[in-house]
């Protein structure tokens, strides 16, 4: 009986002294989730600014690159200054209205598949070519997918957008 008592007490001591190990990725996950929340606010603000044609380009990193996903693109990437100039031209020709509610989704690191603070967005837009002296106003709808990456300072450092822009521009130029 004494042996059984000693074994029971020994097991209680071993089980009672067992250390709880933390998930080694818990801190990384928490930081990525916090970054995603903050970066989502930046993306939502950007989408709103496209509708008012008043983009705050300070949310973009100086080394920002936009990857051109268009059909037969002349080059693969656009710099921040090239994007700003292109946007000016777009705002002169078109008006933008988001038709769907924005629902930011978390992105993951390409290699680790872990949350990384990046933001993805699916949206539907109505884009209107403004009237000129020789053309009437014309509107079209387009569904878009955007992915935004952020640097350690919380600035957008890359962006990719997918949608059938070629068809939309063809439609506008008919």
**Residue 152: which of 71, 55, 39 has the closest Cα?**
39
- Which CATH number fits the domain 19-173, given the four candidates 2.60.120.10, 3.40.50.300, 3.10.450.50, 3.30.70.3270? 3.10.450.50
Which tens digit of pLDDT belongs to each residue from 45-70?
Answer: 999 999 999 999 999 999 999 998 88
Higher-scoring residue by pLDDT: 44, 21? 44
**Taking the model in full, what pTM does it have?**
0.82
Instruction: Tell whether the model's pLDDT for residue 91 goes beyond 70.
Output: yes
Instruction: Tell whether the model's pLDDT for residue 146 goes beyond 80.
Output: yes
The position carrying tokens 């949350």 is 115
Residue 1 banded pLDDT, cuts 50, 70, 90: low
How high is the pLDDT of residue 21?
A: 60
- d(CA 52, CA 48) in angstroms, rounded, equals 7
Cα three-residue angle 99-104-105, rounded to 5 degrees:
130
Instruction: Tell whether the model's pLDDT for residue 90 goes beyond 70.
Output: yes
Q: Quick one: CA torsion of 48, 49, 52, 56, rounded to 10 degrees?
A: 160
Instruction: Tell whether the model's pLDDT for residue 9 goes beyond 70.
Output: no
How high is the pLDDT of residue 28?
A: 83
Domain boundaries of the chain, sorted by first residue = 19-173
**Residue 96: which of 55, 58, 146 has the closest Cα?**
55
The residues pairing with 142 across neighbouring beta strands, listed in sequence order, are: 125
């Amino acid at each position: 009986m004494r042996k059984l008592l000693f074994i029971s007490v020994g097991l209680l001591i071993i089980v009672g002294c067992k250390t709880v190990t933390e998930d080694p990725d818990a801190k990384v996950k928490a930081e990525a989730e916090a970054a995603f929340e903050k970066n989502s606010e930046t993306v939502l603000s950007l989408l709103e600014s496209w509708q008012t044609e008043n983009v705050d380009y300070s949310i973009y990193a100086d080394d920002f690159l936009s990857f051109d996903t268009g059909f037969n693109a002349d080059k693969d990437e656009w710099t921040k200054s090239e994007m700003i100039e292109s946007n000016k031209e777009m705002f002169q020709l078109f008006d933008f209205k988001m038709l769907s509610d924005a629902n930011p989704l978390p992105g993951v690191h390409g290699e680790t598949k872990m949350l990384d603070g990046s933001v993805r967005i699916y949206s539907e837009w109505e884009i209107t070519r403004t009237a000129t002296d020789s053309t009437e106003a014309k509107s079209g709808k387009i569904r878009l997918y955007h992915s935004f990456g952020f640097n350690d300072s919380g600035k957008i450092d890359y962006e990719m957008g997918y949608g059938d822009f070629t068809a939309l521009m063809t439609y506008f130029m008919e």
